[in-house]
Structure 1
């Protein structure tokens, strides 16, 4: 690859990765001299990894500015990057991505001149915003122009501009003296899209899915990353990159591209090698709602934007809710776009910015969502190793745990598998269970648990899916229901011969009445609480003295005396004592005398079992 070709193809992405102008120039020069394999590795890597790879390439270059092919590009790059203070963010924010006019305010949104309370106004505004997003998506949104044309470097795309007059509808080389004149990053990004950066990717990728992904990433990810950089939105973006820890079945359930705004999945993409119909089918099948409807039954569902890509063909869609139960309707909102042409590529950039306008306008109305659908949350150790990760799917949670790094564990993988197998026949609605998945081993007849090839990381597929808690419910009635449900889960666990050892609010989830009913966890129109996180569980007759320091004592144990005073063992009554200390203390309200009596009886070991505790008068009240 020549340095001039590199300027067309790669400088926008490298500049976005650069901590400084000097680094950007060094990176461009080093990249231009790298092998085809090394260049491809940088192109398909995520930003953090790509920067590390470029650092390695820079370190291998001779000292000094040097010459040769790389330095030939320096003049062009320096002119673009050092031309003045970059105004791309201001130009994008004030001109290109002004919020789409959804017509939503929180003042008197109820109409009729009747003032609304702040919570009611906010709720009504959210409903109106969700409805407006659906209307905008289906009313020719992408056919509307941006408030200004996209600036490009005319000298680098002159041939394309002369070859297709339609490009003049979207781009301009006339930047004037305003913000566009100094929008260097934006001009580089749009110029790279227009000039066809993907044409320089190794032919070895051919007509593969990877090739489609690389081409779309250089259009979609580059545009969004630049636009979102300073918009002040809580957003995250991810790709379902090949990961050996994920099985084929899981990869078939998670979209290839995902963008969340405030933890709502509002834009996704599906990328296939050549079959457009299979890509469209993937949009239907993979996470077709912004969140799990049953977990937010009162929230109005906005539309989700999506694209399907196959080879050089791209098409955009709007996915809207259709009735209850999470059913959806998908509407085509663009023509087939050919990203093998400059016009098709710049249309993709334009459409992404139009969609972003709507997302910016809707962002203030996104409901509170604790865990993003399709999102991966990781707990990373001091050396960068992943200790545990959680991914939310519509019907289950995928959890991976490095058992070798877990404090206080008493069971290895086989012990955990045996425990879940024993619990498989219980089906207690208040206790976490394996989600039956064919092909997995160790979880009984339905699978749901397996050990990674590293021999230390266990992967679990768990249900039900609920809302994580961090603290006690706000009222005594809700606390009573939660304690009753958790005790029912503890009773089932104890009956199977195990103790939990880590009961706390963070290990309890709440299923709203709608979710509880659909999962058969309850036949009553009330929330259901479920005890989760069994990785620290142990056999009830675990013989070791846990009164000694770790590894068997958990650092999260409350100050209350949990262990058997005679043997130092953690027993079934220890679970009851922990439940009282962790769930019935430090409440945001004064507990009634009856509730205090139950708490005292649990802490002082006067109740011998969870079944006995469930018969206490406080829990029998409605």
Structure 2
């Protein structure tokens, strides 16, 4: 019997792996409709087989415990009678009633061939599940749950997670489980029946497989939570698989779960796998796992270190990042504010060992999905935070917190690009500026390819960008001038100042990017090769001073940026009169950098935002 049970468990593990792989494939937004339909059919068949194997496992475990109990009774009191206690202990309880129910089914129950223990009529014991071939109502069940219809504010989060989930008819949500699991869990702790129901009531078979697997009496007996990967695996079972199930049945967007350290991600350089969830390729959920030997405090400290850069990536109107920390069986759900990345805020605590703790985590996962599926609507329309984009004669890999820029080095040099040692010197020089992009790795050239990893990840401003107000425009121009000032302090000129070469961060901060075309200040540009066109932004050489690229040349480019932006804004707005005067002074090369930064339009009070970000008085 033991060998039969082990074979069934091997089959279950194999089917679970296949289901997980198919789930991840189905989350791809690029999947062709006809292929998606075939894969969904295949997944449903696999889930059906998985349910049947779970039923076989239940039957064989019950039979094995019954055989052990009979052997114990024949041998008299002794160690052999511990089998029932093992089952109860697997539920986090030492309930003798639960143990007896598993080990010694009473006369009121009968064995249903191929299905497990079924209830006799009128026995009061939940009947065994209907076959998986019945219509799966998981989608209907999940859609009946009352979830946010818009992203809640940070001030609403704690109240949301303190309340139990409810259906839209205001009835509490009871998660479906296999009837056998329902009986055993209920006998161990009768109050758990307020949180569960036999799967036959809702016919949410797919969700029932997931919840039953988590609550199975032997589930935690196979884990060694002294191992970090086991902790990660348990959280995946309770949290990750719920998110995947929600994404597949709710259709809230192309969710991606990642734990693979070798994937292109912000955690690729770490030794340990970390949990993260992306929607529309934006990082909206993050986790940190520690073994039982670690503390929840240390897990939260590591988590905070890894998510602090999140706010530097432009996520539109998203106000917070949901996240978790887990050490052994201690689990805590938290969030990080976009405008304060110095601390994590508590939402709920639970454990991943007891059935009640597991249900708390599963319900939290359902609510988390409901929130992040609404947060995706707050992302910028053109958010592409994890894609490789072609750019000129190179490419840009956009990651959640950074950008990896590559290009053909020889072609870069032939186009008048900067030498590598000069680029390294420039990136080093501007590292202390809050107004210029930073190089976290590189720049370097290997096998003919230039590569540099840049931080922070912001939102590039396209030519179509228009500020919300004259105050925001003034803030942007001041940030640009401060960035150019840092470049000039290193004795280089940017040469390619355009709105697409500016990124917007949180709190209205802006940074100058794309330093690869910089040149030494006051360098003669008439000697450029005949086959190399003068940059269009120089406007036929109008930006140059006696054929040289000077500090005034960059200021000319900033003035033209300002003039182009003013052409999109109401000409009668008196708040913009100072902006027009500044633009004319820059384009005419009448203003130095110091004069520009002291211009009255940039010195006007811009509100609390400007004071906070720039320290302007």
Q: After TM superposition, is the score higher than 0.5?
A: yes
Question: Taking structure 1 as the reference length, what is the TM-score of the superposition?
Answer: 0.59
1:496 is aligned to 490
1:286 and 1:454, CA in 2 relative to 1: closer, same or farther beyond 3 A?
farther
1:529 and 1:316, CA in 2 relative to 1: closer, same or farther beyond 3 A?
closer
Query: Residue deviations 1:146-204, cap 9 Å, x none?
Result: 8343334558x69976995667554444424xxx32x3432343344445998999x9x
Query: Residue deviations 1:501-532, cap 9 Å, x none?
Result: 332334334577xx6xxxxxxxxxxx764423
Is the deviation greater in 493-502 or in 325-334? Answer: 325-334
2:400 is aligned to 391
Query: Residue deviations 1:283-306, cap 9 Å, x none?
Result: 23423889978999xx99779462
Query: Residue deviations 1:56-81, cap 9 Å, x none?
Result: xxxxxxxxxxxxxxxxxxxxxxx977
2:240 is aligned to 221
Q: Which has the larger radius of gyration?
A: 2
Distance 2:450 2:131 in 1: 48
1:519 is aligned to none
1:145-164 to structure 2, matched below 5 A, reads 147-154=172-179
Deviation of residue 609 (structure 1)? 7.4
SS in structure 2 opposite 1:284?
helix
2:288 to 253, 270, 295: 270
Contact 1:499/1:537 (CA < 8 Å) preserved in 2?
yes
1:132 to 136, 151, 156: 156
SS in structure 2 opposite 1:416?
helix
2:141 is aligned to 91
Query: Residue deviations 1:216-244, cap 9 Å, x none?
Result: 32332111111134546568554453248
1:379 aligns with 2:388: yes
Distance 2:430 2:221 in 1: 55
1:206-285 to structure 2, matched below 5 A, reads 208-229=227-248, 231=250, 233=252, 236-239=255-258, 241-243=260-262, 251=270, 256-259=274-277, 267-277=285-295, 279-285=296-302
Distance 1:29 1:99 in 2: 28
Distance 2:472 2:577 in 1: 16
1:575 is aligned to 554
1:549 and 1:162, CA in 2 relative to 1: closer, same or farther beyond 3 A?
farther
Contact 2:182/2:197 (CA < 8 Å) preserved in 1?
no
Contact 2:175/2:197 (CA < 8 Å) preserved in 1?
yes
Greater length-normalized contact order (CA 8 Å, ≥ 6 residues apart): 1
CA RMSD of aligned residues (A): 5.7
SS in structure 1 opposite 2:261?
coil
Deviation of residue 92 (structure 1)? 0.5
SS in structure 1 opposite 2:387?
strand
Alignment gaps of 5+ in structure 2: 1-5, 27-35, 51-129, 605-617
2:304 is aligned to 287
Query: Residue deviations 1:559-606, cap 9 Å, x none?
Result: 943577899987655534433333421422328666446545655xx4
Query: Residue deviations 1:340-361, cap 9 Å, x none?
Result: xxx64x8535523245337636
SS in structure 2 opposite 1:377?
coil
Is the deviation greater in 414-423 or in 161-170? Answer: 161-170
1:477-488 to structure 2, matched below 5 A, reads 477-488=471-482
1:587 to 544, 547, 568: 568
Query: Residue deviations 1:19-59, cap 9 Å, x none?
Result: 3256448989999xxxxxxxxxxxxxxxxxxxxxxxxxxxx
1:337 aligns with 2:352: yes
Distance 2:559 2:363 in 1: 53
Distance 1:570 1:198 in 2: 70
Deviation of residue 367 (structure 1)? 10
Distance 2:262 2:548 in 1: 41
Query: Residue deviations 1:404-435, cap 9 Å, x none?
Result: 389768246544212223445xx555444567
Question: Taking structure 2 as the reference length, what is the TM-score of the superposition?
Answer: 0.59
Query: Residue deviations 1:438-481, cap 9 Å, x none?
Result: xxxxxxxxxx6465988846344646x87764524344454344
Distance 2:331 2:246 in 1: 21
1:353 is aligned to 363
SS in structure 2 opposite 1:400?
strand
1:452 and 1:391, CA in 2 relative to 1: closer, same or farther beyond 3 A?
farther
1:70-89 to structure 2, matched below 5 A, reads 83-84=134-135, 86-89=136-139
SS in structure 2 opposite 1:534?
coil
Contact 2:406/2:450 (CA < 8 Å) preserved in 1?
yes
1:376 and 1:431, CA in 2 relative to 1: closer, same or farther beyond 3 A?
closer
1:234 and 1:415, CA in 2 relative to 1: closer, same or farther beyond 3 A?
farther
1:189 aligns with 2:210: yes
Aligned residues: 487
1:609 and 1:265, CA in 2 relative to 1: closer, same or farther beyond 3 A?
same
1:458 aligns with 2:458: no
Contact 1:469/1:509 (CA < 8 Å) preserved in 2?
yes
1:214 and 1:80, CA in 2 relative to 1: closer, same or farther beyond 3 A?
farther
1:357 and 1:458, CA in 2 relative to 1: closer, same or farther beyond 3 A?
same
1:362-441 to structure 2, matched below 5 A, reads 368=378, 377-381=386-390, 387-392=396-401, 398-404=402-408, 410-411=417-418, 413-423=420-430, 427=432, 430-433=435-438
Distance 1:553 1:26 in 2: 63
1:308 is aligned to 326
2:32 is aligned to none
Distance 1:467 1:613 in 2: 29
Distance 2:583 2:200 in 1: 72
Distance 2:486 2:172 in 1: 62
1:56 is aligned to none
2:609 is aligned to none
Distance 1:538 1:332 in 2: 54
Distance 1:619 1:304 in 2: 39
2:29 is aligned to none
1:490 and 1:152, CA in 2 relative to 1: closer, same or farther beyond 3 A?
same
Contact 1:403/1:412 (CA < 8 Å) preserved in 2?
no
Query: Residue deviations 1:539-559, cap 9 Å, x none?
Result: 443768668677x777xx559
Alignment gaps of 5+ in structure 1: 32-78, 106-124, 393-397, 436-447, 516-526
1:450-599 to structure 2, matched below 5 A, reads 451=444, 456=449, 458-460=451-453, 462=455, 469-470=461-462, 471-509=465-503, 529-540=510-521, 541=523, 557=536, 560-561=539-540, 575-585=554-564, 586-590=567-571, 595-596=579-580, 599=583
Contact 1:433/1:462 (CA < 8 Å) preserved in 2?
yes
Contact 1:503/1:578 (CA < 8 Å) preserved in 2?
yes
